[in-house]
Structures are given as structure tokens and as C-alpha cells.
Amino acid sequence: MKDWVNVIEAVARALAYDRYEPGTQQSAGQSMLAIVTGVSAPRLRHRFERQHQPGLGHEPTAEPLVHPYKVPLYLLARHIVDIAAAAVAGCTPQELAGLGEEERERHRITGIVAVAALSTQRPQGRLSGELNGEARDLMRPFRSGKWPTALDRLAARTAQLHRVMLAADHDRRHAWRGVDQADRILAEALAAALVGGAADETGVPPERWLFPFHIFCKLALSAARDGLVAIEDWLGIEFKPPPRTPEREVDLMVLVAGQAGNLHQGCRCKAGIDPRVVAFVPRGPCRQADHDLRNWLPGQPKPGGGGGRYAETLWGWLRRWLGGSSTSRAPDGRPRLRPNDVAGSVLARCWLPTDRGYGGPLLLYDRILPEYCQNCGQPARPVTTVQPDGHAAVGRASCCANPRRVYRCDFVERAGKRVLRPKLGLVVASEQGGAGYRSTQALGPLWLCAATGRYFLSPEYCPDCQTEAATDRHEPVGHGWVLLPLADAWQDLLDTRHPAAPATPVQPAEETPVSREELMFLEQAIGEMGPDYACVLRTSADAWDVAERWSRDEMDQFCAIAGERGLRLLFRCKQEAEALPPGERGESQGEDGDE
């Protein structure tokens, strides 16, 4: 185990003495150490802003400015890695260049890990060049806890990634202005190691390791931007906010920062998915090898013997993770993507399913209801015909002499039994709803017959198995999406309401008066709030009399016990109590009062 306290202190002293920029008077407040341990200093921010001002020879709108992501690049361009490595080796940067390659790389890795560790600290006050009293405060966290072990692990993982990235680095197409390629590769290895959780034992979350975390986020932002444009090109649709606007940039920034802070736990792109987006029970954390930064080995064969290899660069890893697996283009200029590439990308799952208040089209990965003919069993085949007015009309090709199309789930026969294969796919939905797909949500919950795969609307009436009662074979599936324009399959779905059911969606049962059982439920829940709350509820007016006096904290307490059901009952009690003539409500209160 290395003596990390001494290593970090040596690096801190070297960075504190290093000049802010060549040719100017040294200023401890603007030293590399001050920049590493803080966010960008006012003068540094001003410098970055000037770089992006029009008329200074730089493209002003090529990349909106994000200060924190610029700082590590600024430091790398000023050879912070060599300065830190020289401090570790106890020599000058010139002497460091004379060392053997292996020894030099070892010092460089140790140096950059020390810089990363320093970037977790926020010293109070200005740092003087001598670092007298400040060094003690700065080093304090590294003396205790599990820092030395964690830094050893981080250095080991960085070295491993660095080694395989160098071996796989055949054709690196990206460069940072003023940053040596060797420094960039090493910085990427450190960023991947850190965000992948190599330093978790310190208990400091990845987003607090400013130097490596911002390198990771800078690359991720580029990959997210690129991935989104690839999806838009593939679909031929532009999502809002439009590309190359600050609104989109800032939205992606926040997305990648949040996702990067999460990656040390493994990819959770499939955890907590809104059931409205994936019409199944969420499938838990992602198990795809390509999505797990913790096990990433750049350019190496993936486990399983399928012949696949891990992405060679960090940008490549991010590109696959955030935006689909391939960026190559077909001869017509359309990216070679498959629906699975888009649906599996974190970006598509997290960024596209909501309109972010811009009213744009949405891209959802959701349940699609396929149309099948009941007579011949063939799936419906959409055909497009051009109308005399030049508009394209979508219809269904005829499959047999007497087609009767219904919405039915795909299935396969396995050991003589039908195994349902619900269809999930990409759905583009617009607010106007004139094209693409339409949701069945307005019709209420959908039901699926496990025996035949038929979708229908009444839980008690399956048109295929003609069951008149709820059975285990029928399961609710929430909602699905149907192809527009609507055709006879839609009418068939509407006809599957129970014969006795009204034409409009069924009114919820809450319209019935609050029952005695429901009042007892409320009574019990209120009683659990504490001895002072115990009460006897005879009528809904009694319940409302109790609840209408509660404060927000009491309501919060009640919600924690009774949940949404309890709240629903209270609102119904309120409705009923207010519907009573004033005299009757008063009588009810009087009776309670007498008791």
C-alpha cells in the first residue's frame, strides 16, 4: 500500500507552486491547486468565456460553454499530469521524461490519482503558495478511513484500463486542443475507473471527484448529443428542444450528470422505468455487459464467446450506452440502427419519453397491439396508397375473402401450450395524434386472455373463451398503442366491453356511498396516528369533521398509514358531507357530541 498522504501532499505542494499561466506573476489563489480544489475561479471563468466570444477566432456557438467540464481540460493542457508525476517521483518534469517508460507511467498514474483525490477537497479560504497551515487541513481526510485502500484500488483499476486502452487505441479520432494524446487516454482511464466505482470505499460519491467526473461528463455529453442526432436521423423526426440549442444542451447535461453519478452501482437503465413507458413490470437493473462500466475492458472480447468486443475508447463506451450500438450509415445517409439499439439506449429511455414542456413528439418504448385476422390468422399488413390530392393514405391489405381483424398478442407454441409474446416496440406519439400510434388509455384498462392472446376491455367478458366471469386466465395490462388510422380492429375492441356496460368508460365505484367497512378502515387508520386521534366514525360527515381540521403534517402522517385509498375515502367523505343539508350534518355532529 502506498503512503498516499505523503504522495498527495507532495502533489499538492507542486500544484500550489505551479504558475497559473506562463509569463505571469504566480498567484496562489489561481494556482493549479486552487483550481483543482475549487470550481473555476472568477478569472478562469472569464478566460473561458472570452474563448467563446465572437471575433476571437473561435466558433462561438460550436459548443455551449460549460465551465466545470472545461477545467480538467485546461489543467491537462498545462501538463498537470507530468507536474504531479514529477512530484511523486521527487524530480523535475524534465528529469521525469528521462526515466524508463514503465516507471514514468507508474508515477503518472499515481500522480493523476492524487490530483483526483485533491479534487474532492474544498479548502476554506485562500491557499498560500507555501501550503503551511493549509496542508494539514487538506490532508486530514486522507489520514483516516479507507482512503489509502480506495486510492490503491483506484490506481490499480486506472492502470488496468490505461493498459488495455493503449493496446486497443488503433484509430483514435478525437483530440482535445492542447492536450497530449497520452494525457487524454490516462485521464479517460481514470474517469472510467472512478465513475465505475473503483473508489467507492471512500464513501465520496463520484460527482464530488470533480477532476475525473467532469472529464467523464464532458465525453458523455458529446456522446449523448451525437446519439440523439443519430436517433433523429434514423426516425426522420426532430425532437424538442431542437438540436444545437442551449435548451437541449442543458437538458442533456443534467441527464448525463445524473446517470454518471449512478454508474458506480452498475447500470440501472432498466430499473424504475415508468410502467407507462414499458408496459411490463420494470425489469430491474440492466444485465447487459456493454452497460456495466465496472467490468469494462476496452477492446477485449466480451464474455460468452459470442465474438463481440468491448468498446475501445471511453467515448465509444458512452456512445453505445447512451445512443445505440452503431453510428455507421447506409448509402442513403440513414444511420444503421435497429429498433432494439434505440430502445436499449439509456438516452432513448430517459430523454425521449417526455416532451419536457416543449410540446414536441415523444418516443416511447411500449406495448403495441398487433392486428390479426380471426379468419385466416394472418397479421394485418399496412399498405400505403397515394390519394389524388397527393396525400398518402394508410390502409390494410386484404388477407382473405372475409377478413375480421382483432387486436391479438403474438404467441409461440411450446410443449403444446401457447406462450404469449407481447410486442414491445418504438412508438412515436405526437400531441395532435393524427399519425403514428394512438394509446388505448382513454378506454380504461386493457385485459389479455392468456389462452388466446386476445385483447379486450371487460375483465368479466372475454370474447374468445366466452367466459362470463373473471378467471386466472385474464390479466390486466394497463394500456397499449394501436396503429393509426383506426380500422375495424378498433371497433372490435370497443365491442368487447361487457354487453351490459355503458358506451362510455365505466364510472369508478367511488360514486357509491362510503360503506361501513370503509369507515372502519378510516377509523382504524386515524386511530393509528396516535391515542389523541382515536375516534368513532358513524357517517362520512364524521370522518370529514375529523380530517378537515388537520394540518399538512397530520395529513402526511395519515397518508403514510392509509395511502392513496385513505385519501380517496376522505375526499368522498367530504363530497358526501357537503351534499348533506346543513341540518342533517349538524345532527350528525350533535349526536357525536352527545356521546
Residue of 541, 545, 444, 534 whose CA lies nearest to 497: 444
Number of residues that bind another protein (CB under 8 A): 73
Residue of 26, 28, 38, 70 whose CA lies nearest to 51: 70
Q: Which residue has the cell 473508489?
A: 199
* The one among 222, 262, 440, 496 contacting another protein by CB under 8 A: 262
Q: Does 246 bind another protein (CB under 8 A)?
A: yes
Q: Does 567 bind another protein (CB under 8 A)?
A: yes
- Comparing CB distances to another protein, the nearer of 43 and 417 is 43
Q: Which residue has the cell 439499439?
A: 341
State in angstroms the smallest separation of the CB of 515 from another protein: 14
Question: Binding to another protein (CB under 8 A): which residues in 196-235?
Answer: 205, 207, 217
How far is residue 394's CA from residue 407's CA, in Å, rounded to a whole number?
18
How far out from the chain centre does Cα 344 lie?
12
- The DSSP bridge partners found for residue 359 are none
Question: Binding to another protein (CB under 8 A): which residues in 422-481?
Answer: 441-442
- Comparing CB distances to another protein, the nearer of 209 and 310 is 209
- Listing from the earlier edge strand, what are the strands of the sheet with 362-368? 423-429, 362-368, 481-483, 437-439
- Comparing CB distances to another protein, the nearer of 412 and 503 is 503
Residue of 454, 240, 242, 247 whose CA lies nearest to 359: 240
Give, as one character, the DSSP assignment of residue 30. Answer: G
- Comparing CB distances to another protein, the nearer of 76 and 204 is 204
Question: Binding to another protein (CB under 8 A): which residues in 574-593?
Answer: 574-575
* The one among 3, 6, 46, 561 contacting another protein by CB under 8 A: 46
Phi, psi of 437 (to 5 degrees): -125, 155
Question: Binding to another protein (CB under 8 A): which residues in 486-515?
Answer: 508, 510
Q: Binding string to another protein for residues 346 to 385, with x set by CB under 8 A, is what?
A: ----x--xx-xxx---------------------------
Q: Pick the stretch among 190-198, 242-250, 328-336, 366-374 that binds another protein (CB under 8 A).
A: 242-250
Type of residue numbered 540? S
Q: Does 300 bind another protein (CB under 8 A)?
A: no
- The DSSP bridge partners found for residue 394 are 384
Phi, psi of 128 (to 5 degrees): -85, 160
Question: Binding to another protein (CB under 8 A): which residues in 136-195?
Answer: none
* The one among 4, 14, 37, 69 contacting another protein by CB under 8 A: 69
State in angstroms the smallest separation of the CB of 82 from another protein: 28
Residue 245: strand, helix, or coil: coil
Residue of 134, 105, 118, 127 whose CA lies nearest to 75: 118
Q: Which residue has the cell 374468445?
A: 464
Residue 367 host element (H or E): strand 362-368
CB atoms inside a 10 Å sphere around CB 493: 23
Residue of 369, 463, 466 whose CA lies nearest to 408: 369
Q: Pick the stretch among 6-14, 240-248, 521-529, 586-594 that binds another protein (CB under 8 A).
A: 240-248
State in angstroms the smallest separation of the CB of 125 from another protein: 5
Q: Pick the stretch among 90-98, 161-169, 251-259, 461-469 that binds another protein (CB under 8 A).
A: 251-259
State in angstroms the smallest separation of the CB of 44 from another protein: 11
How far out from the chain centre does Cα 355 lie?
15
State in angstroms the smallest separation of the CB of 47 from another protein: 10
- Comparing CB distances to another protein, the nearer of 217 and 322 is 217
Q: Pick the stretch among 5-13, 66-74, 83-91, 314-322 that binds another protein (CB under 8 A).
A: 66-74
Residues with Cβ < 8 Å from 122, sequence gap 6 or more? Answer: 37, 38
- Comparing CB distances to another protein, the nearer of 103 and 431 is 431
Residue of 499, 483, 381 whose CA lies nearest to 426: 483
Residue of 312, 346, 318, 316 whose CA lies nearest to 328: 316
State in angstroms the smallest separation of the CB of 429 from another protein: 11
Per this entry, what is the length of the chain? 595
- Comparing CB distances to another protein, the nearer of 97 and 250 is 250
State in angstroms the smallest separation of the CB of 25 from another protein: 14
Question: Binding to another protein (CB under 8 A): which residues in 519-558?
Answer: 547-556
- Comparing CB distances to another protein, the nearer of 250 and 383 is 250
Question: Binding to another protein (CB under 8 A): which residues in 6-45?
Answer: 38-39, 42-43, 45
Q: Does 559 bind another protein (CB under 8 A)?
A: yes
- Listing from the earlier edge strand, what are the strands of the sheet with 474-478? 455-456, 446-449, 474-478
Residues with Cβ < 8 Å from 558, sequence gap 6 or more? Answer: 525, 526, 529, 547, 550, 566, 567, 570
How far is residue 34's CA from residue 16's CA, in Å, rounded to a whole number?
7
State in angstroms the smallest separation of the CB of 568 from another protein: 4
Q: Output the CA torsion sign for 372, 448, 506, 578.
A: negative
Q: Binding string to another protein for residues 105 to 144, with x set by CB under 8 A, is what?
A: -------------------xxx-x----------------
* The one among 162, 319, 320, 572 contacting another protein by CB under 8 A: 572
Question: Binding to another protein (CB under 8 A): which residues in 390-429?
Answer: none
State in angstroms the smallest separation of the CB of 581 from another protein: 19
Peptide bond into 339 cis (omega under 30): no
* The one among 181, 245, 288, 398 contacting another protein by CB under 8 A: 245
Q: Does 264 bind another protein (CB under 8 A)?
A: no
